[in-house]
Each structure stands twice: as C-alpha cells, then as structure tokens.
Amino acid sequence: MEKLIDKQRVVQHMNGRLLRNNVLKFLFFLATLFGLIVLVVLLYRIFTQAIGWLNIDFLNNFPSRRPENAGIKAGLVGSLWLMVIVAPVSLILGVGTAIYLEEYAKKNRFTDFIQTNISNLAGVPSIVFGLLGLTLFVRELNLGRSVLAAGLTMSLLVLPVIVVAAQEAIRAVPNQLREASYGMGATKWQTIYGIVLPAAIPGILTGSILALSRAIGETAPLVVLGIPTFLAYLPRGIFDTFTVMPMQIYNWTSRPQADFQNVAAAGIVVLLVVLIFMNSIAIFIRNKFQKRY
C-alpha cells in the first residue's frame, strides 16, 4: 500500500517553504530599512554640505549675489509672517467645518457632498491651488504678491488636512460627556464650547501643527503666485511682498555656482530645524494632553 504521508517528502518540501519564508522576510525587512537608509543619507549629505555655511551671519543676512554673503533672514521672517495668516484662517475654517460636520450636520446628501468634496480637495495638487490663488487673490482681489494673498492660498491648501484631523479628534470625544452636559441643562453650543472642544483640543492641535508645518515647507503654490526670492527688506504688514524659506532654497538650488548649493543646504537645515521644532511641539501635546476615554 502506498504511504499516505511520506515523511521524507514532507520534510524536504517544508524546508523549502520555510527557507522561502525566511528569505522573503529578510527582503521585506530590507525594504522597510530602505526608507531609513535614504533618510540618513539625505540628512548626512545636507548637514555636511551646510556645515561651513551655517552661522549667525547666515541667519542675519539678506539674500546676496555672492554666496558667502547670502542669508536666510528674509525667508525665515517671511515664513513666520505666512503663519500669521495661515494659522488663524485655516484653524477657524477647519475647526468650524469639523464642528459643523460632526455636531450639527444631519446625515443627508448635502453633508455627504461636503465630506466627499473635502477628501477630493485633499488630493488636488498644490500647484493647482497656486493657480487659484494667482487668479483669485493676486489678480481679482488685487492683493498682489502679498503675505495676505499667499496666506489665504496656503490656508485653502491645508484646510482639508485640518478638517479631517479635527473631525477625528471631535469624534473621539465620547457621547457620555455630551449627554452629561445636556443633562446638566447646558445648551448645544455650551456643550460644544465647554465640553467637546476642550476634550478635543489636543488632537486638533496635533493635527493642525502638522498641517501648518506642511504649509511652511510648501513651495509650488508660492512659485505660481510669483513670490519673489530676492528681497532685501522684511515685510511690515500683511499687504507687503515677502519671501519664504522654501522659495529661497529653490532659488539657491537652481543657481549654477557650486557654492550656492552649499547655501541651499544651509537653508534646508534651517527649514528642517523649524519643522522639527514644530513637530516636537505636536508630539509633546499629543503625549502630554491626549486623554483616552
């Protein structure tokens, strides 16, 4: 009688399968490490290029035709000015939309439409927002290449990200809290303002800071708006022209002189430091204040 189970064959076959498992497991692991390796190479390259160029003068100088005199002051201050518009506008619009969708909106087609619209907006390339800003803010509303025009464009760009983050944070607030508040006689807005928002604020802030750091690193829409890169003065108000760090870096990167590459690297280091700072605040808020219900 033929053996139903041939132990020899099973062992042989099994070894092959286990070997394949281990080999591919290793390959999958390498693929995951790949990202980490690239990150290390990228940072190492940029820091070594930047090292001789990064000093107090670099932070204090305006752009210059000579690489040794070039500095990022205009860009650094400009990026902060940009935040003066983007932070309040995108937060009010984003959190307002999220509260409306989560607390007030009825489940109907209109609500679905807003929701679908927001997720589609999130997928629109940033350069298209630049075209919108160029036509609407720079030309039609005649704001020129000002902090305000750029800020409003960027606010619309990061709006979907903030809405989604705020919606998730508001949704995570358990219903018992709302019901307890109603039970105490509070009205709907009192409940939202006094109970839901305070509970959701860590989540909202974490998501919003990440969205704002995206706005700080974004270049394409500002190129389309025509934000200048060569500015030897700082903006005094929201109607002044200005420049931002990524624009300066773009300008330096596309110059032929090799020294400007190092200046660009130094600019990138400053930009990354600002982003790391913002991200650490976000992580700090998340770890410190986020409650689990």
Partner 1 sequence: MAMTDGNRSYSVRDMIKENKKKQNGQQFVEWLMPKFLLLTAIISILTTIGILFTLLFETFIFFERVSIVEFLTSKEWLPWDEKTGSFGVAPLVTGTLLTTAIAMVVAIPIGLASAIYLSEYASEKARKVLKPILEVLAGIPTIVYGFFALTFVTPLLQKVIPNLGIFNALSPGIVMGIMIIPMVASLSEDAMSSVPNSIREGALGLGSTKLEVALKVVLPAATSGIAASFMLAISRAVGETMIVAVAGGSSPVFTFDVTKSIQTLTAYIVQVTTGDAGYGTTVYYSIYAVGMTLFVFTLAMNLLAQYISRRFREEY
205 lines the binding site for partner 1 (CB under 8 A): no
Answer for which of 150, 210, 231, 266 binds partner 1 (CB under 8 A) is 210
Establish how many alpha carbons lie within 13 A of residue 19's alpha carbon, considering only the half-sphere containing its beta carbon: 6
Q: By CB under 8 A, which span of 55-63, 115-123, 169-177, 234-242 interacts with partner 1?
A: 115-123
Please identify, using beta-carbon distances, which residue of 49 and 181 lies nearer to partner 1: 49
**How far apart are CB 236 and partner 1 at their closest, in Å?**
26
**How far apart are CB 163 and partner 1 at their closest, in Å?**
7
34 lines the binding site for partner 1 (CB under 8 A): yes
187 lines the binding site for partner 1 (CB under 8 A): yes
Please identify, using beta-carbon distances, which residue of 128 and 232 lies nearer to partner 1: 128
Alpha helices in 100-146 (DSSP H): 109-122, 126-133
Q: Of 51-90, which residues contact partner 1 (CB under 8 A)?
A: none
139 lines the binding site for partner 1 (CB under 8 A): yes
Please identify, using beta-carbon distances, which residue of 1 and 7 lies nearer to partner 1: 7
Residue 259 is which amino acid? D
Under a CB-based contact definition with an 8 Å cutoff, are residues 138 and 144 in contact? yes
Under a CB-based contact definition with an 8 Å cutoff, are residues 187 and 144 in contact? no
Q: In angstroms, rounded to a whole number, what is the distance separating the alpha carbons of residues 252 and 67?
A: 9
**How far apart are CB 125 and partner 1 at their closest, in Å?**
3
284 lines the binding site for partner 1 (CB under 8 A): no
38 lines the binding site for partner 1 (CB under 8 A): yes
Residues facing residue 146 across a β-bridge: 241
108 lines the binding site for partner 1 (CB under 8 A): no
Cβ neighbours, 10 Å, residue 174? 11
Scanning the structure block, which residue is given the tokens 């358990």? 174
31 lines the binding site for partner 1 (CB under 8 A): yes
Q: Of 222-241, which residues contact partner 1 (CB under 8 A)?
A: 223-226
**How far apart are CB 42 and partner 1 at their closest, in Å?**
5
Answer for which of 46, 82, 161, 170 binds partner 1 (CB under 8 A) is 46
Please identify, using beta-carbon distances, which residue of 84 and 255 lies nearer to partner 1: 255
Q: In angstroms, rounded to a whole number, what is the distance separating the alpha carbons of residues 102 and 221?
A: 30
Under a CB-based contact definition with an 8 Å cutoff, are residues 284 and 205 in contact? no
Task: Please give, one letter per residue, the 3-state secondary structure of 140-185.
Answer: HCCCCCEHHHHHHHHHHHHHHHHHHHHHHHHHCCCHHHHHHHHHCC
